[in-house]
Amino acid sequence: PPLPQADGMSEVGNGTLTTHVLNTASGLPAAGLVVRLARLQEPGMEWMELAQRYTDADGRCQPLLAPGQAKSGTYKLHFETAEYWQGLGHTSFYPFVEVVFIITDPAQKLHVPLLISPYSYTTYRGS
Protein backbone atom coordinates (compact mmCIF):
# COMPACT_ATOMS: atom_id res chain seq x y z
CA PRO A 1 0.00 0.00 0.00
CA PRO A 2 1.17 3.59 -0.62
CA LEU A 3 2.64 5.40 2.35
CA PRO A 4 0.61 8.27 3.79
CA GLN A 5 1.75 11.67 2.58
CA ALA A 6 2.71 13.47 5.76
CA ASP A 7 4.96 16.26 4.51
CA GLY A 8 4.69 18.91 1.80
CA MET A 9 7.54 17.38 -0.16
CA SER A 10 5.56 14.32 -1.18
CA GLU A 11 4.98 15.60 -4.73
CA VAL A 12 8.65 16.19 -5.50
CA GLY A 13 9.85 13.75 -8.12
CA ASN A 14 6.26 13.14 -9.21
CA GLY A 15 5.99 16.01 -11.69
CA THR A 16 3.35 18.73 -11.79
CA LEU A 17 2.75 21.69 -14.09
CA THR A 18 1.77 25.03 -12.60
CA THR A 19 1.51 28.62 -13.80
CA HIS A 20 0.65 32.05 -12.50
CA VAL A 21 -0.23 35.25 -14.32
CA LEU A 22 0.84 38.72 -13.19
CA ASN A 23 -0.51 42.00 -14.61
CA THR A 24 2.68 44.06 -14.84
CA ALA A 25 0.74 47.25 -15.68
CA SER A 26 -0.92 47.19 -12.24
CA GLY A 27 1.58 45.00 -10.40
CA LEU A 28 -1.30 42.76 -9.34
CA PRO A 29 -2.16 39.12 -10.03
CA ALA A 30 -4.35 38.56 -13.11
CA ALA A 31 -7.53 37.00 -11.72
CA GLY A 32 -10.27 35.27 -13.73
CA LEU A 33 -8.06 34.63 -16.76
CA VAL A 34 -8.75 31.45 -18.76
CA VAL A 35 -5.76 29.10 -19.14
CA ARG A 36 -5.82 25.99 -21.34
CA LEU A 37 -3.22 23.25 -21.62
CA ALA A 38 -2.77 21.13 -24.75
CA ARG A 39 -0.28 18.47 -25.85
CA LEU A 40 0.98 17.98 -29.40
CA GLN A 41 -0.13 14.60 -30.71
CA GLU A 42 2.23 12.66 -32.97
CA PRO A 43 1.77 11.92 -35.82
CA GLY A 44 -0.40 14.54 -37.46
CA MET A 45 0.76 17.42 -35.27
CA GLU A 46 -2.66 18.07 -33.74
CA TRP A 47 -3.12 19.72 -30.36
CA MET A 48 -5.19 17.81 -27.81
CA GLU A 49 -6.62 19.89 -24.97
CA LEU A 50 -5.89 18.38 -21.56
CA ALA A 51 -7.12 20.97 -19.07
CA GLN A 52 -8.83 24.33 -18.65
CA ARG A 53 -8.55 26.53 -15.58
CA TYR A 54 -9.36 30.04 -14.39
CA THR A 55 -6.79 31.98 -12.40
CA ASP A 56 -7.82 32.83 -8.86
CA ALA A 57 -7.40 36.11 -6.95
CA ASP A 58 -3.68 35.32 -6.62
CA GLY A 59 -3.28 34.78 -10.40
CA ARG A 60 -2.79 31.06 -9.83
CA CYS A 61 -4.82 27.94 -10.61
CA GLN A 62 -4.83 24.27 -9.71
CA PRO A 63 -1.97 22.33 -11.35
CA LEU A 64 -2.62 21.78 -15.05
CA LEU A 65 -0.97 18.38 -14.86
CA ALA A 66 -1.42 16.38 -11.69
CA PRO A 67 1.46 14.37 -10.21
CA GLY A 68 2.13 11.38 -12.43
CA GLN A 69 0.09 12.78 -15.34
CA ALA A 70 2.96 14.39 -17.29
CA LYS A 71 4.47 12.63 -20.29
CA SER A 72 7.46 13.63 -22.40
CA GLY A 73 6.41 15.80 -25.31
CA THR A 74 5.51 19.25 -26.59
CA TYR A 75 2.89 21.25 -24.72
CA LYS A 76 1.30 24.66 -24.95
CA LEU A 77 -0.33 26.93 -22.44
CA HIS A 78 -3.01 29.15 -24.05
CA PHE A 79 -3.89 32.28 -22.06
CA GLU A 80 -7.09 34.22 -22.99
CA THR A 81 -5.60 37.68 -22.46
CA ALA A 82 -8.05 39.73 -24.60
CA GLU A 83 -11.04 38.72 -22.44
CA TYR A 84 -9.04 39.59 -19.33
CA TRP A 85 -8.08 43.07 -20.60
CA GLN A 86 -11.62 43.74 -21.89
CA GLY A 87 -12.89 42.98 -18.40
CA LEU A 88 -10.63 45.76 -17.11
CA GLY A 89 -11.74 48.18 -19.83
CA HIS A 90 -8.50 47.92 -21.85
CA THR A 91 -7.77 46.81 -25.37
CA SER A 92 -4.90 44.39 -25.85
CA PHE A 93 -2.44 44.14 -28.71
CA TYR A 94 -2.29 40.37 -28.17
CA PRO A 95 -5.68 38.58 -28.41
CA PHE A 96 -4.18 35.59 -26.59
CA VAL A 97 -0.76 34.32 -25.57
CA GLU A 98 0.49 30.81 -26.30
CA VAL A 99 3.58 29.47 -24.60
CA VAL A 100 4.93 26.30 -26.22
CA PHE A 101 7.46 24.21 -24.31
CA ILE A 102 8.90 20.70 -24.15
CA ILE A 103 8.70 18.34 -21.18
CA THR A 104 11.75 16.08 -21.31
CA ASP A 105 11.61 14.77 -17.72
CA PRO A 106 8.00 14.02 -16.69
CA ALA A 107 9.09 13.54 -13.06
CA GLN A 108 10.26 17.15 -12.77
CA LYS A 109 8.06 19.90 -11.34
CA LEU A 110 7.50 22.63 -13.95
CA HIS A 111 6.33 26.19 -13.28
CA VAL A 112 5.66 28.42 -16.31
CA PRO A 113 4.66 31.95 -15.25
CA LEU A 114 3.31 34.66 -17.54
CA LEU A 115 3.76 38.41 -17.04
CA ILE A 116 1.33 40.51 -19.10
CA SER A 117 0.56 44.10 -19.99
CA PRO A 118 -1.64 45.33 -22.87
CA TYR A 119 1.40 45.65 -25.19
CA SER A 120 3.86 43.05 -23.96
CA TYR A 121 4.26 39.68 -22.32
CA THR A 122 7.11 37.71 -20.79
CA THR A 123 7.40 34.10 -19.76
CA TYR A 124 10.16 32.04 -18.21
CA ARG A 125 10.81 28.65 -16.74
CA GLY A 126 10.18 29.10 -13.05
CA SER A 127 10.81 26.81 -10.12
Q: Where are the domains of the chain?
A: 17-123
The fold of the 17-123 domain, in CATH, is Immunoglobulin-like (2.60.40)
Summarize pLDDT for 6-23 with one digit per residue, the tens: 444 444 456 799 999 999
In tens digits, what is the pLDDT along the chain, a chain of 127 residues?
554 544 444 444 567 999 999 999 999 999 999 999 999 998 878 999 999 999 999 999 999 998 888 999 999 999 999 999 999 999 999 999 999 999 999 999 999 999 999 999 999 999 8
Residue 44: predicted pLDDT? 79
Q: Write out the binding residues for substrate.
A: 20, 60, 124
Q: Write out the binding residues.
A: 20, 60, 124
Listing DSSP states for 52-95 in one string gives: EEE--TTSB-S-SB-TTT--SEEEEEEE-HHHHHHHTT---S-S
